[in-house]
Structure 1
């Protein structure tokens, strides 16, 4: 469909949450525009797992198949660009892009994701999503029972180590500085034969993103095949804040289980509002948000 200027719904972000939202809305006969800059957070991840019918495929292949299937819905359009600003407009919203295009819609869905902030550890970014991992449900099976490191400290480190112990008994917890674990936590970790290393990380030793060991500033090394880490982040798109959307203390868009934000007519889907960072959960949140938006549009017209 040729690009127009006015839509029922504009979706910012064309990865799994945005694509699923577009599919649900397209099947509800809604005129939809997806604006996407083509920079998904999992773009260097070699395989995606734990998603029925597509387990083990590359993230790009899953997205390409979704776009291929969406092409049959004539009310769904794509525009490759970055959404730059947003403002209220005629009981709806206006979105402007970096290239200078302007679009309006009654409803918005932000499926724009988050941007992980990489630590200043040499090699870390090149391994992110390959052998430096965030989620055992997405990747734990493939690296189970391998020598595993966890980069975390305090309560977060203890809870992460407890979680990962389901997949391997070969765990070292790297606190990257003085441990803030309690005596009780240290005792429990010791009982489970989980080592705690307080040395400061300097470099991830790897080949093409596959870790062989970690190097510390004191010159010592520990051999690991995989490293789990949960990174700080910020919103990939700042338009929700421009439109006065509230964020949670952790920096996610504040929304209910259906993706309804604190601004009427503005929804969130995917990991910009939920800690569940998987293909399956992204698709689910996109479907929920789209269904609720369609209901709102029906109720307004009925």
Structure 2
């Protein structure tokens, strides 16, 4: 394993929206920043990003590419296309090892790894994830034109999803054996005009057609589901960062300054906050970058 001879002020593990937003604050303060990124953005299947001021409707791949190009214009930024597999060390002396066999050193460490999604095991759903099956109505609801929307249940969080989505169209809640509704939930959903379908799903085909176990076909403009998610890599947890439960899975525990329970180790973006949107990830990353800079200026604060 090769060891870098020059240390960095901050190593950012994850070069998507949150990681780049953090790095931008730091390089603009003339700090030496290394970004390590494996190149698998969570929204890589989506053709358009929405709800992000100034970038509404833009291809998220183009947003990320432009951001990287702007970052790399700063002389104190180093970008390494690789995957972090291990991290360790202590305050002012951290190291990150990559799958490519490199070992990098830095005074601070930021995990901006994003999350991975565990989708419901419905035939045809994963292939349509980010295309006609979504998680966030604020990101993808408007484009459905107030058409028919199906919500594929995964657990209690799906009830909230089904209650919210009538703002964007006519909703059918597909229980698919994932949960049972009590009288209160059923009444609340009925009050929102949500239809309940208890027949299990056989598969999804076409654009967003749900084929039920009894043979009926329900066509939708789009589908929503609430996947369970957690940090996209276990590196932070293996290093000793604590995870906390969220309504949709787990995330890295941080304080208000985005520092984990390990001094000098920070986390931001989808891996360390919810809900998940590009706009919120960028904001969280910018805040983390500023807090990291402060920790370098006033290390004892």
Would you call these one fold, judging by a TM-score over 0.5?
yes
Aligned to 2:38: 37
Q: Deviations over 1:116-146 (max 9, x none)?
A: 1122222111111111011011111111411
Q: CA contact under 8 A between 1:153 and 1:174: conserved in structure 2?
A: no
**2:208 counterpart of 1:201:** no
In 2, distance between residues paired with 1:181 and 1:257? 36
In 2, distance between residues paired with 1:154 and 1:34? 36
**2:202 counterpart of 1:190:** no
In 2, distance between residues paired with 1:125 and 1:4? 43
Q: Deviations over 1:256-298 (max 9, x none)?
A: 2332111111111110011221111111111111101110100
Aligned to 2:232: 236
Aligned to 1:299: 298
Aligned to 1:157: 158
After TM superposition, list the pairs within 5 Å mapping 1:3-42 onto structure 2. 5-42=6-43
SS at match of 2:227: coil
Q: 1:63 to 1:8 in 2, by over 3 A?
A: same
Q: Deviations over 1:220-245 (max 9, x none)?
A: 22121111111012321111111111
In 2, distance between residues paired with 1:4 and 1:147? 58
Using the TM superposition, name which of 91-100 and 154-163 deviates more. Answer: 154-163
Q: CA contact under 8 A between 1:92 and 1:104: conserved in structure 2?
A: yes
How far 1:100 sits from its partner (Å)? 0.6
Aligned to 1:278: 277
Q: Would you say how many aligned residue pairs link Structure 1 and Structure 2?
A: 295
Q: 1:116 to 1:70 in 2, by over 3 A?
A: same
Q: Which runs of 4+ in 1 moved over 3 A?
A: none
Segments of structure 1 that go 5 or more residues without pairing to the other structure are none
Aligned to 2:52: 51
In 2, distance between residues paired with 1:178 and 1:11? 38
Q: TM-score, normalised by structure 2?
A: 0.93
Aligned to 2:252: 253
Segments of structure 2 that go 5 or more residues without pairing to the other structure are none
Q: TM-score, normalised by structure 1?
A: 0.93
Q: 1:177 to 1:108 in 2, by over 3 A?
A: same
In 1, distance between residues paired with 2:97 and 2:178? 47
How far 1:154 sits from its partner (Å)? 6.0
In 2, distance between residues paired with 1:166 and 1:286? 30
Q: 1:153 to 1:300 in 2, by over 3 A?
A: closer
SS at match of 2:144: coil
